[in-house]
């Protein structure tokens, strides 16, 4: 099964809009939302059925047994994350704790242990197709690990005859994006013709190349700044990056998304452009 990842340098570029359109056009039987901090692909794919849910445990957190604690303060003194405080007794701030285990190591009374904590929830929808997604709990920092779990459960649940899976990735170049890029066959970078869009695009290209991932680029809302659009096209040409198309700014896209539809469910200029981007992407040799 080939994996096509759709990513962007920042939020709001239209990454999920393009991913939803690709899923619709391909009639994809396996797809995933790896933007675990703020998943929203489900709003436009309208996957039916009830999700199979399971808790996700990230890094362990320290726990102090009050009945064993001798209140020596060594744990608080040695915590580099300022996660241990005391009033009448010593306690752990779960949002600050990194689970490093130093407090457990220095405790002379063996009053501290590392315990699993629920860091998020994995969801898997299965009927005629497989949709894998997850939601990271507020304040948890193990999003990269959760992304890997989202991809794994999609791959494990997909039918053996599925040829291409579509993955909606996270914005930026942080841990969740690196986890999203791992093992995929092609990453389609959705950018926009702004100064920040160009800067983010270059950072994403460098990140993907360091990981050895094949890449392609498309521009959303290209007609909002034709000069920057030309700059992006030239950069792709100069750096031998597959450029698969341009999508115009289209108010119909906003209307479709607000109605819970994919952009290709309506007849409009943006939908026609996305269809061309889709066709150009599928003929790249990695897919």
- pLDDT tier, 258 (very low <50, low <70, confident <90, very high otherwise): confident
d(CA 133, CA 45): 12
Total residue count of the chain as it appears in this document: 287
Q: Report domain 2-57+119-282's class.
A: alpha beta
Residue 12 has pLDDT above 90, yes or no: no
Task: Yes or no: say if 63 and 92 are a contact pair by the CB < 8 Å rule.
Answer: yes
Same fold, 2-57+119-282 and 61-115: no
pTM above 0.85, yes or no: yes
The residue ranges of every structural domain in the chain are: 2-57+119-282, 61-115
The chain-wide mean pLDDT, for the chain, equals 93
- Topology given in CATH for the domain delimited by 61-115: Alpha-Beta Plaits (3.30.70)
Task: Yes or no: say if 9 and 203 are a contact pair by the CB < 8 Å rule.
Answer: yes
d(CA 239, CA 269): 29
d(CA 160, CA 182): 21
pLDDT of residue 184: 95
Residue 8 has pLDDT above 90, yes or no: yes
């Amino acid at each position: 099964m080939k994996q096509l990842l759709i990513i962007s340098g920042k939020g709001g570029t239209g990454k999920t809009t393009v991913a939803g359109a690709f899923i619709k056009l391909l009639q994809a039987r396996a797809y995933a939302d790896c933007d675990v901090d703020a998943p929203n692909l489900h709003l436009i794919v309208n996957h039916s059925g009830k999700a199979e849910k399971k808790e996700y445990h990230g890094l362990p957190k320290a726990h102090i047994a009050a009945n064993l604690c001798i209140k020596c303060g060594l744990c608080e003194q040695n915590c580099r994350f300022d996660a241990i405080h005391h009033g009448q007794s010593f306690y752990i701030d779960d949002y600050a704790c990194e689970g490093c285990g130093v407090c457990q190591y220095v405790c002379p009374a063996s009053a501290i242990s590392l315990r699993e904590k629920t860091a998020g929830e994995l969801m898997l929808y299965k009927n005629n197709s497989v949709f894998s997604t997850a939601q990271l709990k507020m304040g948890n920092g193990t999003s990269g690990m959760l992304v890997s779990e989202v991809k794994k459960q999609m791959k494990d649940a997909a039918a053996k005859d599925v040829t291409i899976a579509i993955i909606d990735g996270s914005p930026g170049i942080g841990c969740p994006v690196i986890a999203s890029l791992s093992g995929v066959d092609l990453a389609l970078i959705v950018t926009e013709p702004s100064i920040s869009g160009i800067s983010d695009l270059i950072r994403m290209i460098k990140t993907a190349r360091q990981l050895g991932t094949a890449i392609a680029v498309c521009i959303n809302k290209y007609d909002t700044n034709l000069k920057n659009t030309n700059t992006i096209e030239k950069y792709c040409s100069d750096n031998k990056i597959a450029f698969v198309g341009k999508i115009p700014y289209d108010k119909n896209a906003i209307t479709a998304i607000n109605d819970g539809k994919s952009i290709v469910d309506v007849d409009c200029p943006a939908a026609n452009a996305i269809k061309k981007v889709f066709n150009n992407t599928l003929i790249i040799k990695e897919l």
